[in-house]
Each structure stands twice: as C-alpha cells, then as structure tokens.
Amino acid sequence: MTVALSNVPGGKVSPPPPHRPAETPPYTPLAIASDRCKGCELCIGACPHGVLALDVGVVNPLGYHPIRLIDAAGCTSCALCARVCPDAVFTVFAPRKGA
C-alpha cells in the first residue's frame, strides 16, 4: 500500500464522490399507444393547449398516421384527449407536484 500511495500526488487518496442518482427521464404527462391510434383527430380538436398533432412521418400497424405529443411542457394532464378518444390510446398521468 505504501508503494501505491507513493505514486499518488501528496500521498493522500481522496474519498470517492458521493453517489448521485441517475438523471431521471423528462416528465411525460401522457402516453400514447400509437399502434392502436386510427388518426381520427378528435383529440387534436379537444385539446385546449394544441399539444397534439398527427405524426405524418409514421404509419402504424393499422395503416394510420398516429397522434403524437408535440409539446409535453404545454400539456396540463386535463385528459380531454382521453375522454374523446374512441380507441382509448391515451394514458394520462397526474401532474408533478410543484409543477
């Protein structure tokens, strides 16, 4: 051990840094089962904040352009999208505390 410490500047070893938890993923106010979405756009019309749009670059297994969330920060988890969706593709999460 003495030999190992002689190679360390100052002969002292610093303690390891405190454990830091991994970065949490960004908050997502809702999940969309895009594989079941038929792109009827009822949710787009119901959303008071305009945070949903058709994902025209994607075709799901049913052959439709699904809905996507375009502004997670603008979503208030009001669940109006989920209420009007005939295919129940939305799962709405409660807002974060303090948000």
Averaged pLDDT in 10-residue chunks for the chain of 99 residues? 58 60 62 96 97 96 96 92 97 74
pLDDT at 95: 72
pLDDT at 94: 81
Print the domain residue range for 34.
27-92
Residue 4 counted as domain residue: no
Q: Is the pTM value of this prediction over 0.85?
A: no
φ/ψ region of 82 (left if φ > 0, alpha if ψ in -120 to 50, else beta) reads: alpha
Residue 84 counted as domain residue: yes
Residue 17 counted as domain residue: no
Q: Which residues make Cβ contacts (< 8 Å) with residue 84, sequence separation at least 6?
A: 42, 43, 45, 46
- Domains: count for the chain: 1
